[in-house]
């Protein structure tokens, strides 16, 4: 029986648009200009990107340059919290008057007061604890960070994602590039999100991300995803495995080790779990992840 206190999160009746939520340009420590980044990502079929240079409040509306993708505002904050621990926090949204002199705690408070969505960046790479997911009432965490994968393999934030979900069902997960495109950090197009929209514009993108109507990926694609009250019905790119992941050891899975692939399938969705998200994996081991599939009414 369906749990009437919960509502299925996803509406996939629109179109899917590809975007990167974490990028750096020559405005901070990146190796390419906004135009060079836009041209490069457009060549990989990206539709939008966020400007998240370190301690730089971007201002895309007053940028008169013509770009082949849609730019959105953001900032990355880095530094020591009041207790001495070190963090990076990506903030998505139009922000102003945030400077290093605010300190990390003060800057995060300012960003949240201005309505930004706040994301704990590459927590394993920095050695952030699982408890840190509940600091500052952050909105989400990076499940995958591509530049950290390049540097030392510490790219996977799934444990932190689960820790956040165990405390807050609306906690969001993100796959990102953390693009720098310098000789020592050349990686790009390794982690992204797909947002489902009726039409693409900045307001719609912000709204969809905040509501969790997107999924994160390092390769596999979800074409449609519907819940009929009992079963989750999906169409995807060819994948080898699909898993429903819940609290602690809760889980379900389909797929085979013989190399056979699936593209259309259904899974009975447990509505009584504390949280549940979908993970799919292709034959190359690349994965994609939804957010928690339900919201509280």
* Residue 9, both tokens: 């999160």
Residues in the chain: 297
pLDDT at 39: 98
Residue 184's pLDDT is 84
Model pLDDT for residues 39-94, shown as the tens digit of each residue: 999 999 999 999 999 999 999 999 999 999 999 999 999 999 999 999 999 999 99
Q: Are 22 and 50 in contact (CB under 8 A)?
A: yes
Quick check: 190 and 122 in contact, CB under 8 A?
no
Average pLDDT, the chain: 96
d(CA 121, CA 75) in angstroms, rounded, equals 12
CA dist 243 and 251 (Å) reads 7
Is residue 4 very low, low, confident or very high in pLDDT (cuts 50, 70, 90)? low
**pLDDT the model gives residue 73:** 98
Residue 1 has pLDDT above 50, yes or no: no
DSSP letters, 83-122, are TS-EEEEEEES---S--GGGHHHHHHHHHHHTT-EEEE--
Q: Is the distance from CB of 90 to CB of 76 less than 8 angstroms?
A: yes
Rounded-to-10 torsion of CA 102, 57, 49, 293: 40
For the beta sheet containing 241-246, the strands, ordered from the edge strand earlier in sequence to the opposite edge, are 70-72, 48-50, 15-20, 192-197, 214-217, 287-290, 276-281, 241-246, 251-255
Give the percent of the chain with pLDDT over 70.
Answer: 99
Distance CA 46, CA 192 (A): 9
- pLDDT per residue over 238-263, tens digit each? 999 999 999 999 999 999 889 899 99
Is residue 41 within 8 A of residue 50, CB to CB? The reply is no
Report the SS3 class of residue 8: strand
Cα radius of gyration rounded to whole Å, the chain: 19
What is the distance between the alpha carbons of residues 16 and 196, in angstroms, rounded to a whole number?
A: 5
Question: Can you give the pTM of this predicted structure?
Answer: 0.96
- Spell out the residues 6+ positions from residue 142 whose beta carbon is closer than 8 angstroms to its own: 22, 90, 119, 120, 121, 122, 123, 157, 173, 174, 175, 176, 178
Mean pLDDT of the 162-173 span: 97
- E runs forming strands in 81-221: 86-92, 117-120, 140-145, 172-176, 192-197, 214-217
pLDDT the model gives residue 185: 87
């Amino acid at each position: 029986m369906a749990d009437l206190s919960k509502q299925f999160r996803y509406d996939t009746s629109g179109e899917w648009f590809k975007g990167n939520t974490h990028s750096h340009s020559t405005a901070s420590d990146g190796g390419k200009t906004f135009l060079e980044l836009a041209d490069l990502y457009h060549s990989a079929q990206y539709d939008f990107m966020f400007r998240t240079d370190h301690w730089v409040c971007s201002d895309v509306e007053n940028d008169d340059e013509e770009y082949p993708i849609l730019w959105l505002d953001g900032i990355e904050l880095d530094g020591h919290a009041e207790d001495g621990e070190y963090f990076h926090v990506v903030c998505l949204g139009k922000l102003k008057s945030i400077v290093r002199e605010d300190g990390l705690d003060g800057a995060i408070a300012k960003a949240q007061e201005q309505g930004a969505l706040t994301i704990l960046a590459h927590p394993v790479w920095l050695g952030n604890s699982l408890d840190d997911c509940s600091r500052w009432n952050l909105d989400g965490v990076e499940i995958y960070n591509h530049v950290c994968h390049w540097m030392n393999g510490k790219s996977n934030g799934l444990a932190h994602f689960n820790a956040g979900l165990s405390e807050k069902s609306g906690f969001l997960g993100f796959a990102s590039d953390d693009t720098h495109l310098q000789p020592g950090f050349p990686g790009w197009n390794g982690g992204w999100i797909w947002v489902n929209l009726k039409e693409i514009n900045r307001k719609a993108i912000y709204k969809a991300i905040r509501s969790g109507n997107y999924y994160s990926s390092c390769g596999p694609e979800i074409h449609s995803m519907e819940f009929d009250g009992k079963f989750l019905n999906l169409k995807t790119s060819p994948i080898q495995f699909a898993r429903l992941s819940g609290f602690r050891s809760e889980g379900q899975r389909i797929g085979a080790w013989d190399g056979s692939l699936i593209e259309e399938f259904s899974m009975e969705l447990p509505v009584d779990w504390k949280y549940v998200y979908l993970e799919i994996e292709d034959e190359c081991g690349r994965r994609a992840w939804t957010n928690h599939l339900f919201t509280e009414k």
